[in-house]
Amino acid sequence: MKKGIILLSMLLTGVFGLQAQDTSVNVGDEFTIQQPEGNQFNHLDFPRPNFLIKQGILPDYKSLAGIRVVVADVSTDKEGHQVATLQPVNRKQYFRHYREVTAHVDRALQSGELNR
C-alpha cells in the first residue's frame, strides 16, 4: 500500500512538472519561423493571400521558413494568451511591405510554427 502511494505521488509530481514548463516570452527573445503544416500559418498573423495578391505579391509562405525573428513587444489578449510582435533579426520586410507580424506565442510554439 505504501509503495502504491509513493508511486502515485511520484507520477503526479512528474505530470505536473511537465505541465509547468515556462512558455513566457520577453522582449528580445529570438525565435525561428518553421515551415507551416499547410499552406498558411495558423498562429502567426501574416496577411491573407488575397490581400497579398491585390498588392501584386505572390504569397509564398514556405519562403518564410528559417527566418530568425526577435520579439519587439509582448501583450495579452482577451483570453489571456500572450501575443508578441515579431520583427526579423535582419530588419528586412515580410512580403516587401510588412515590417512586423503578431503571433500567439504559446500556440505557435506548441504547433511548431515557432522554434526557440
| pLDDT tens-digit map of 5-52 | 666 666 666 655 545 445 688 899 999 999 877 778 899 998 888 888
Across 6-116, the runs of DSSP E, i.e. the strands, are 30-33, 68-76, 82-88, 101-104, 114-115
**Contact at 8 Å (CB) between 69 and 86?**
yes
User: What pLDDT sits at residue 41?
Assistant: 87
Euclidean distance between CA atoms 45 and 7, whole angstroms: 44
Please state the pTM of the whole predicted model.
0.72
- Sequence ranges of the domains in the chain: 25-115
Q: How big is the CA angle at 77 (ends 47 and 40), to the nearest 5 degrees?
A: 25
- Pick from 19, 25, 20: nearest CA to 106: 25
Most confident of 40-44, 54-58, 84-88: 84-88
